[in-house]
Amino acid sequence: MTAEVNTPQRDSSDLPDYPLARECPYRPSQSTAKLRGDGPVAKVRLYDGRTAWLVTGPVEARALLADPRMSSLAHYPNFPVLDERHLHMRATREMAKEEEGGFAGVLFGVDPPEHTRQRRMLLPALTARRVAAHRPEIQRIVDEQLDVMLGAGASADLVADFAGPVPMKVVCAFLGVPYEERESFEGPARELFDPERADQAMDDLTGYLLRLIQAKEAKPGKGLLDDLIERHVRVGDLGHDELVQFAFAILVAGTVTSTSTIALGTLALLDTPGQFDALVADPSLIPGAIEEILRYVCPVEQLSRVATEDIEIAGEVIKAGDGVLVSFAGANLDPAVTARPETLDVTQVPTDHLAFSHGVHHCLGRNLARLELEIVFTTLIARVPTLRPAVPVEEIPWYNDFTVPRLLSFPVSW
């Protein structure tokens, strides 16, 4: 059933504003907890006066994320847009109303059965067993990057010297993208989140990836792109344009979120008394601490959806055509997820947090992300146990355009 075109509600002055700006770079706004006070499903007002449903209950969030009546397609009239800047960024089409381009053309911004077909092609390479085989390579990348950082002196920029390069090298190795060609893709990948440069950056990045794929067809190498060419392109069930979008999606989503989690997670550990030291004293806490960091930092605070049919949930009726924001930040504050929801506590492992979403769009790369974060934090804490911020935390520059919050730099010393 196609969603009805509802007239957006403009009389919303009595509703809370959303999204909420972070007061601190490494955690969602403290006012997020107040939004939960209106119930697990409630209305909020967006920047342009339109309204959307905000889902903050973890049970309700999982139910809706698994509901086939919820669509990821951005062309619906009431698809929630969080900031006017997103309307001008093809690369963030997941939260915009663009008709062309952007990595939301695959995976993130499509529905079944198209999404199912695309996901099936990628899933074999991202199982826990297949990802585990990359452990030695990821460990080598982390060790080599720390060698460079530590060899330069007793201080560094953790973003530029570690949190940025490691995820990019890991994803490049996984895809089969030559890291030595990074001048062709690293800058454009970073500029995708700059409204004034996003379109040109996306054109540059897609152009590079198309040339790379054509080169791999002539001379196969090692990596996911090579596997997809062999298993799907050569038999005719995957075209060049779609493969470029796969590569685009993984290269961008797999680096931006990981870089942010490493940088913000490290800052959160160092700025919360006793947390970094607890991991130094007991490294066995690290796997659980990663889950707690993901829950607390919440690099992706929400996903936008549209109901394609009426849905009754938590005593409310979400009408066909209504915009819905599934709040991972809100759900991760629920006492069912952790006993101390507003506190970072690496000794308490959260239960089933929503940092990797749920349902058909449950993050495909979660196994790779978890392995990378485990190796990163285990190695960083073992090799740099005296790590500390080199400037007052409030002086660390950061940026949030309501996509993924990012530290612009993170001066550290040891």
Question: pLDDT 10s digit of each residue in the chain, 414 long?
Answer: 444 444 444 456 789 999 999 999 999 999 999 999 989 999 999 999 999 999 999 999 999 999 999 999 988 999 999 988 777 555 444 333 344 434 456 788 899 999 999 999 999 999 999 999 999 999 999 999 999 999 999 999 999 999 999 999 999 999 999 999 988 888 888 787 777 787 888 889 889 999 999 999 999 999 999 999 999 999 999 999 999 999 988 988 889 999 999 999 999 999 999 999 999 999 999 999 999 999 999 999 999 999 999 999 999 999 999 999 999 999 999 999 999 999 999 999 999 899 999 999 999 999 999 999 999 999 999 999 999 999 999 999 999 888 899 999 999 999
Q: Which residue type occupies 110?
A: V
Torsions phi, psi for 147 (to 5 deg): -55, -45
Sequence-ordered list of residues with C-beta below 8 angstroms from that of 335, at least 6 positions apart, any chain: 341
Q: How far is CA 200 from the centre of its chain?
A: 22
Coil, strand or helix at 343: coil
**Per-residue confidence (pLDDT) for residue 88, from 0 to 100:** 59
Pair 267, 260: CB distance under 8 Å: no
Pair 142, 382: CB distance under 8 Å: no
Task: Give the residue from 252, 311, 389, 373 showing the smallest Cα distance to 65.
Answer: 311
Cα torsion for 29, 33, 39, 44, to the nearest 10°? -20
Strands 316-318 and 398-399: unpaired
The pair of three-digit structure tokens given for residue 356, joined into one six-digit string: 């990797």
Tell me how far apart the alpha carbons of residues 75 and 62 are, in angstroms, rounded to a whole number: 23
Tell me how far apart the alpha carbons of residues 282 and 276 are, in angstroms, rounded to a whole number: 10
Q: How far is CA 105 from the centre of its chain?
A: 16
Query: Is 100 exposed, middle or buried (CB count within 10 Å of its CB: 0-12, 13-18, 19+)?
Result: exposed
Query: Is 178 exposed, middle or buried (CB count within 10 Å of its CB: 0-12, 13-18, 19+)?
Result: middle
From the CB of residue 283, how many other CB atoms can be counted at a distance below 10 Å? 13
**Per-residue confidence (pLDDT) for residue 11, from 0 to 100:** 52
Pair 256, 117: CB distance under 8 Å: no
The single-letter DSSP state of residue 399 is E
Pair 22, 28: CB distance under 8 Å: yes
The single-letter DSSP state of residue 362 is S
Coil, strand or helix at 43: strand
Strands 41-45 and 51-55: antiparallel
Angle at 292 between CA 272 and CA 280, to 5 degrees: 55
**Per-residue confidence (pLDDT) for residue 105, from 0 to 100:** 65
The single-letter DSSP state of residue 412 is E
Pair 71, 3: CB distance under 8 Å: yes
The pair of three-digit structure tokens given for residue 71, joined into one six-digit string: 């669509």
User: Three-state SS string across 332-361, please?
Assistant: CCCCCCCCCCCCCCCCCCCCCCCCCCCHHH
For the chain, how many residues are written?
414
Question: What does the domain layout of the chain look like in residue ranges?
Answer: 32-413
What are 55's strand-pairing partners? Answer: 41, 326
Tell me how far apart the alpha carbons of residues 89 and 49 are, in angstroms, rounded to a whole number: 21
Q: Which residue type occupies 311?
A: I
Torsions phi, psi for 71 (to 5 deg): -110, 145
Tell me which architecture the domain covering 32-413 has in CATH. Answer: Orthogonal Bundle (1.10)
DSSP 106-120: TGGG--TTHHHHHHH
